[in-house]
Amino acid sequence: MKTYAQLQEEYGGKYIAILEGGVIEWAKSFEELIRKIKKKKFDEKKLTFEYIEPKGAAVVY
């Protein structure tokens, strides 16, 4: 699995789907990501979904 900084370099500002520790798909919106996943017939129950903050973004929770 890549570090969060590496994920930001490649997928910053995007949603990703992870299976067995690796990114299998990405999209600019969560809805688009789900469409891509369903099209490729991945089992959504086995996936982890995450939004990757853009590099340099300040996030306050």
Within a 13 Å sphere around the CA of 32, how many CA atoms are in the beta-carbon half?
A: 9
Query: How far is it, in rounded angstroms, from Cα 30 to Cα 60?
Result: 21
Residue type, 10: E
Contact 61, 25 (CB under 8 A): no
Res 56: pLDDT? 87
Query: What is the residue type of 14?
Result: K
The whole-model pTM stands at 0.86
How do the pLDDT tens digits run along the chain, 61 residues long? 789 999 999 999 999 999 999 999 999 999 999 999 999 988 888 999 999 999 988 777 7
